[in-house]
Structure 1
Amino acid sequence: MASLRVARRMFCAAAETAAAAPAAPAAPASSSRWERVKNSKAGVWCRSLVSDYKEACREIVLGAWGRPAKATVYLTLMGGASACVYTNPDQSSFEAALLERSNQLGLLSPWIRNATSDGHIQNLVKLRNEGRLQHASLGLLSLVYWANYDTDSALYEAQCSNLSMPWLEFHQRVLDVGFGSRWWILDSKMRDYDVNEDEFKNLPAHMQVSSPPSVQEVEKNERLHKESWLALKVEDEVKEAHVVDRKEEKVSEEQTEPAKEEQT
């Protein structure tokens, strides 16, 4: 009952206020609707938000105009950070790179594979098959590390948070770092993957190190290689045969002359 009385009093007061107010000129329906939207809470909030952003942009432009060096440094850092985020490799890219490196080693004989490259790739493949190879994205870069158990495993040791990996040991479990669309540790391990260093460990020290050939030697080898593919002419073969015959005749004459002198 009390609520009904309060509501009745409110309606009566509103009716009296409307009757006492002077009649205003009728405005168009579209303008009145737009005025109501502008004066509403949402409209006031949107106008204040646009005004704040406008003022912030104006201050940014004025600050950049007053300090161009500082603005250039900030823009460079923001652009570099955006590029790093855009080129941050994900887990699928690491698996694709691992598969490609594994295929490269698979095309080689086990006797000529680099032991470091082969061991690193075999370890990564083993962890991936066991589901223990995990990926963590840090925004600017990504990390690949190994875990004790598969995340989908239902073992108590894998699900208990108290038995999870301690954070102090995380740096020891990192296997690769992804930055700029590259996996740096994987690329460094695959350097000279087709050179088995164990084959040369018993050689002398001066034979274990080879210097790159000079420009003249490279040009000479290329020239000889091109000449080896040229066909021999018949005239050249005949001339070479005549030269050989003449040399043989001279040698035979030189051998017979001392014998004649001894007989005389």
Structure 2
Amino acid sequence: MASFRVARRMLCAAAEPAAAPAPSSRWERLKNSKAGVWCRGLVSDYKDACKEMVVGARERPVKASVYMTLLGGAWACFHTKPDQSSFEGALLECSNQLALLSPWIRNGTSDGHVQSLVKLRNEGRLRHASLGLLSLVYSASYDPDTTLYEAQCSNVSDPWWQFPKRVLDVGFAGRWWILDSKMQDYDVNAEEFKNLPAHMQVTSPPSVQEVERNERLHKESWLPLTVEDEEKETKAVDRKEERISEESQMKPLKE
């Protein structure tokens, strides 16, 4: 019996070195898994790419500055891109500006463009599309809630090649360019001056001397009159009255 116990202890002692190692931690198992290996490889690739970018920027600073400028411009255009609510706000503001003017003063081009946009908006036919760096506003044939067959069936809808004709405005860099261009000189009605001579239809900006002279006269008009100025004005008025009376007396003699 004792010899059996000794043999069992010898076998257990010999089996202890060959026993399985202690189980590793959960973090070690996660690192050695397939997902962990893939993530480590991805981080290593991004690390190498960043190092190459830094080295390339040092070697070619002009090229790197051009790329950074393009990326910064694209980022700015993306974040300043106007949306549909901004277009509706700009449209209502332009409509209010025109409503404050008399119909005889409004620019026909501005008024017609804004009125057509307001009509499409009231009919629910204005659409907005975001293209990343810019936005488009275009017109649709029907309201989205319309249940007509022509409005629901894609086979009879407008073909895609007619889309450029339906574009109404382009939003870029925080502005709606077509609407702004149509609203230039919205308070000038060109029809009022079409019967004038050609040299009166074209106006040129005043020169620096004319602007200074007008400003000087405007400032002098607010100054109080002195006694000498009043005497000069009265004398000028008296001379004018005398001249008028003399002319009126000379007319019967000539007759």
TM-score band, normalised by shorter chain: 0.7 to 0.9
| 1:5 paired residue number | none
Is 1:142 equivalent to 2:135 in the alignment?
yes
- Name the CA shift for 1:71/1:186 in 2 (closer, same or farther; >3 Å): same
Match of 1:12 in 2: none
Partner residue of 2:70?
Answer: 77
Structure 2 matches for 1:43-62, cutoff 5 A? 43-62=36-55
Q: CA deviation at 1:23?
A: 3.2
Question: Which of residues 64, 85, 95 is equivalent to 1:92?
Answer: 85
Distance 1:74 1:197 in 2: 47
User: What letter is aligned with 1:117?
Assistant: S
Q: CA deviation at 1:204?
A: 0.8
Cα gap change, 1:51/1:221 in structure 2, threshold over 3 Å: closer, same or farther? same
Between the aligned partners of 2:210 and 2:28, the Cα distance in structure 1 is: 87
Residue matched to 1:183: 176
Instruction: Look up the match of 2:96.
Output: 103
Whether 1:155 and 2:148 are equivalent positions in the alignment is yes
1:244 counterpart = 2:244 = no
Identify the residue that residue 118 of structure 2 maps to in structure 1. 125
TM-score (norm 1): 0.78
Aligned with 1:55: secondary structure?
A: helix
Stretches of structure 1 that go unaligned for 5 or more consecutive residues are 1-18, 256-264
Matches within 5 A, 1:21-60: 22-23=18-19, 26=22, 32-60=25-53
Structure 2 SS opposite 1:172: helix
Q: How far apart, CA to CA, are the structure 1 residues paired with 2:26 and 2:130?
A: 50
- 2:25 aligns to what SS in structure 1? helix
Distance 1:45 1:196 in 2: 70
Q: How far does residue 26 in structure 1 lie from its aligned partner after superposition? A: 5.0
Say how many residue pairs are matched. Answer: 226
Superposition TM-score, scaled by structure 2 size:
0.81
Q: Cα–Cα, structure 1 residues 237 and 208, in superposed 2: closer, same or farther, change >3 Å?
A: closer
- Alignment root-mean-square deviation, CA: 2.4
Tell me the CA shift for residue 185 of structure 1: 0.6
CA distance in 2, matches of 1:107, 1:170: 34
Report whether the alignment pairs 1:221 with 2:214: yes
Alignment gaps of 5+ in structure 2: 1-14, 247-255
| Match for residue 64 of structure 1 among 31, 44, 57 | 57
1:48-75 residue CA offsets vs partner (Å, 9 max, x unmatched): 1111111111222222222222222221
Per-residue CA deviation, residues 19-52 of structure 1 (Å, 9 max, x unaligned), is 797236757xxx6232222112222222111111
Distance 2:201 2:22 in 1: 101
Equivalent AA in structure 2 for residue 22 of structure 1: A
| Cα shift readout 1:218-244 (whole Å, capped 9, x = no counterpart) | 1111111122222334x3466448x73
Distance 1:119 1:24, change over 3 A: same
Whichever residue aligns with residue 163 of structure 1, its letter is V
Q: Alpha-carbon deviations, 1:89-123, whole Å to 9, x = none?
A: 11111111111111110110000100000000000
Distance 1:66 1:240 in 2: 81
Q: CA deviation at 1:124?
A: 0.4
Amino acid paired to 2:78? V
- What do residues 162-208 of structure 1 show as CA deviations (whole Å, max 9, x unaligned)? 12221111111111111100011101101111000001111111111
